[in-house]
Amino acid sequence: MPDHEQAGRYPGYDVLAKRNTPSWNDQTRRVIDQRLAVPGDPRFFTEDEFATVAAIAARLVPRRGGQPAIPVAALVDHKLFTGRSDGYRQAGMPRQGDAWRLGLQALDAEAQRAFGGRFRELGAAEQDELLKQMQSGELRDPAWGEMPAATFFSHRMAHDIVLACFSHPAAWSAVGWGGPASPRGYVRMDFDQRDPWEAVERRDGDHGAAQRKNRHVG
């Protein structure tokens, strides 16, 4: 039995089992197939930049025990490589690709100054400390140029990483989400009710009951 079926709040639930059920239509299947086919090697980032993005993602959206790995760095890289933008840009921020390159260079400069190594080479506690300082706007190395560290953290780096993580089906399984509501929709709309095609959350430690039901969610 896969480890992820034993772990989490929705044991035994795999959103990909919905693929050939009425819960998903052809458009949903195409989108998910494209997402799962994102190349694992960088096409926008350099190898060094890609490794740093992966290290940041491991701190911002850490993998819980037993959960399958989500290729967050590859998903961010794909977004930048394909030029898919958010449709807006925070005032004072460079274009998204430029912001990422500048931010990663500045973060490594801060890591070298504070701890004597590149960000991805540091321990978890040191990485967390730098990310907290970035979020609060305390990082002021000249490498940031005109881009505020706190703005990069909230409006570019964390934004892209969190969206990438929760765009992946493995994250959907972890949070019990079934994908787009169309075409099936929902019937039981009152509080604390679920339709038969929704995931069952483990309650009061009753792992077995939730797991048995989740094997038949479709």
Tell me: the pLDDT tens digits for 71-91?
999 999 999 999 998 888 888
Distances (CA, A) of 208 to 97, 152, 200: 46, 44, 11
Q: List the domain range (segments joined by +) for residue 113.
A: 3-214
When mean pLDDT is compared across 61-65, 137-141, 168-172, the lowest value belongs to 61-65
Return the beta strands (E) in the chain as ranges: none
Tell me: the pLDDT tens digits for 163-210?
999 999 999 999 999 988 888 888 887 887 888 888 888 876 677 777
Q: What is the number of structural domains in the chain? A: 1
The mean per-residue pLDDT over the stretch 120-149 comes to: 97
The interaxial angle of helices 96-115 and 72-82, nearest 10 deg, is 140
| Residue of 189, 163, 196, 23 lying closest to 96 (CA atoms) | 163
